[in-house]
Amino acid sequence: MKFLEKNILIVGSVWPEPNSSAAGSRMMQLIDILLASRCSITFASTSGTTDHMADLNKFHIKQYQIGINDSNFDSFLAELHPDIVIFDRFMIEEQFGWRVADTLPGTLRILNTEDLHCLRKTREYCFKKGREFTVSSLLSEDITKRELASIYRCDLSIIISEYEISLLKNVFSIKDTLLLYLPLLYTPDTINQNKEISGYDKRKNFITIGNFRHTPNWESVLHLKKKIWPFISKELPDAELHVYGAYPPPKATQLTNSKERFYIKGWTNDAHKVMSEARVCLAPLQFGAGIKGKLLDAMRCGTPSVTTTIGAEAMHGKYPWNGFITDDPQDFTKKACILYTEEHLWQNAQKAGFEIIKDRFNRTKFEDSLITAIDNALLNLKENRTLNFVGSMLSYHSLRSTKFMSRWIELKNKQAED
């Protein structure tokens, strides 16, 4: 393990909730790698604290609540004087990137994308309009222009999916020096648990899991309720479907129906436990982007899954899926029933999941690449910025237009207070 030993500020719109979402888990993975590299970390967020947020005090991370369109952030930044600022999602870079560039021009700026929001949002738009997603539809969206501009303005962007890396390089012609592929990562001690994992006979029922505030998850639950579960429940009259996830709204909890054996369970303190008790995980995602944490958790727990092409995107590489991939509701139902009832098939699927996790999401294979990429970006900061003319041009205009707009909003807010 290399040692970076830098002072890092992470700016996020929300506090990390590792038990609520893959994004929260991802942020804690990044923090853990940076701490292991002897970095000191400060986390600042524009949101209030939550019941499910990680205990950052346990990691000796300083925490600050900050405001949008507030020049106090400039003073905070100047006093902290970080070597590196990490923006969690491009909307945060839009709000605070120009302030970092203005106050500390020599500070390295990194964008943590989580997933490409433009890809997820465009797929959602196409889904709701009944249109087929194409790259041309992605090119026409304003959110694509915004997110790509943010990537260009930053010195390095962390990308979670191989598909998204390919898209950025081959469609948008973004240089390698600006991008780092870093999937969700798991330590060997969390993936080498095969002997401790329950077998087929000790498991029952189906499970799906995901933060209800994340639109792809909600649409997936509705798809299960309307088009898939009625047929599975008919074929398997003793099986139940348990739906877990943080922040279930009333419209979700009202879907519970004991006669249909469809249960909205909501928040769980131990996602690993409930996943390990289920026999099959269902994830009929209709749109989305990035890497699906729920499906990786299923693999870690030895729980085979049935998902869609979107769900499995960029996850299994050369390996067979740990179950089935299908986009047709009738075929999805059929495959789910087969996986649930055929023990030998189930066991092979479980083994496939273990192989995917060990080879493609093993932290030991990737953690040095993060530190090396940051170190190289720091060493070549001036040269890389000179060669990144598009980024320089966008920063030039952003610094002026966003700066003056933010100053104007700040002034209006102060006048309203007076």
Cβ neighbours for 351, distance < 8 A, ≥ 6 positions apart: none
Measured distance CA(212)–CA(221) in Å, rounded: 9
- Average of pLDDT values for 54-60? 96
Write out the two tokens for 114. 């989580």
pLDDT in tens, 329-354: 999 999 999 999 999 999 999 999 99
Residue 417 — pLDDT band, cuts 50, 70, 90?
A: low
Distances (CA, A) of 406 to 11, 94, 175, 309: 17, 11, 30, 41
Q: Please determine, for residue 412, whether its predicted confidence score (pLDDT) is greater than 60.
A: no
pLDDT, tens only, 138-171: 998 999 999 999 999 999 999 999 999 999 999 9
Overall average pLDDT of the 255-282 stretch: 96
State how far the Cα of 333 lies from the Cα of 233, in Å rounded to an integer.
10
Task: Please report which confidence band the pLDDT of residue 394 belongs to, taking 50, 70 and 90 as the band edges.
Answer: confident
Average pLDDT of the residues in 246-270? 96
Between 142-153 and 389-417, two packed helices, what is the crossing angle to 10 degrees? 110
Which range (13-17, 97-101, 312-316, 394-398) has the least confidence?
394-398
Mean pLDDT value across residues 51-70 = 95
Q: What percent of the chain has pLDDT over 70?
A: 93
Q: How confident is the model at residue 194 (pLDDT cuts 50, 70, 90)?
A: low
CATH topology of domain 190-360: Rossmann fold (3.40.50)
The sheet that has 7-12: what strands, in order across it? Answer: 62-65, 40-45, 7-12, 84-88, 108-112, 156-159, 179-181
Decide if 314 contacts 162 (C-beta within 8 A).
Answer: yes
Lowest mean pLDDT segment, chosen from 80-89, 287-296, 393-402: 393-402
Residue reference for tokens 């610094």: 399
**What whole-number distance in Å separates Cα of residue 277 and Cα of residue 275?**
5
Q: What average pLDDT score do residues 64-83 get?
A: 95
pLDDT digits 0-9 by tens, 350-366:
999 999 999 999 999 99
Looking at residue 273, its pLDDT comes to: 95
Which residues contact residue 96 at a Cβ distance below 8 angstroms, ignoring those fewer than 6 apart? 11, 73, 85, 87
Listed residue (80, 77, 113) closest to 98, CA to CA: 77
pLDDT of residue 395: 80
| pLDDT-derived band at 128, boundaries 50, 70, 90 | very high
Q: Rounded distance, CA 290 to CA 183, Å?
A: 9
Tell me the CA distances in angstroms from 337 to 46, 81, 232, one per residue in order: 45, 57, 7
Domains 7-185+363-417 and 190-360 share a fold: yes
**CATH match of 7-185+363-417 with 3.40.50.2000:** yes
Residue ranges of domains in the chain: 7-185+363-417, 190-360
Q: How far apart (Å, rounded) are the C-alpha atoms in residues 315 and 290?
A: 9
At residue 239 the predicted structure's pLDDT band, cuts being 50, 70 and 90, is very high
Report d(CA 307, CA 336) in Å as an integer.
9
Two tokens, residue 58: 């346990």
Calculate the average pLDDT of the chain. Answer: 93
